Amino acid sequence: MIEAGTKYLKSKFYELPLCSDKNVSKCLSLSEKMDLIKAFLDINSNDYEAYKMYLVLKDANKESSLVQVQVLAGLSTISSLSQGERNEVIKKLQSEITELLSNGLVQNPKGAFLMGQ
């Protein structure tokens, strides 16, 4: 049953375009597509198609850094990635973590939190 649901959602991922001003019905937002990738990785941490889906999203860098880190961390564990693909994912992950810590971390006397996340 999970496999059938995953197959259906993957087909919808490719079938439905990203939402924009022009098409407001029958579309998926960037955050919904990123959530789908995270869900596919939760179901199967070696899902190479999740990596291909991430590559399809040209606007993935517009998503919040925290979501990017979550997706990239999941992608970095896919065992079927080539060494070049893995290095690219890890490099992007390190860049996002650095960005998050340098620009998103706010410290105050009571603790630290991520700004706007």
116 lies in some domain: no
- In the chain the first and final C-alpha atoms are separated, in Å, by 34
Examine residue 89 and state whether it is found in any structural domain, yes or no: yes
How confident is the model at residue 54, as a pLDDT? 92
- Neighbouring-strand partners of residue 107: 112
Per the structure, the complete domain to which residue 76 belongs is given by 2-105
66 is a domain residue: yes
At residue 61, the pLDDT reads: 72
- Burial per residue of 78-92, b for 16 or more beta-carbon CB atoms within 10 angstroms, e otherwise: beebeeebbeebeeb
Number of domains in the chain: 1
The angle at the Cα of 81, spanning 74 to 35, to the nearest 5 degrees, equals 30
Q: Give residue for tokens 């693909």.
A: 85
Closest C-alpha among 72, 47, 49 to residue 60: 72
Say what the pLDDT of residue 26 is. 82
Q: What was the pLDDT predicted at 114?
A: 65
Query: pLDDT 10s digit of each residue in the chain, 117 long?
Result: 888 889 999 999 998 888 875 656 788 888 889 999 999 999 999 999 999 999 988 777 777 778 889 999 999 999 999 999 999 999 999 998 888 888 776 666 666 666 655
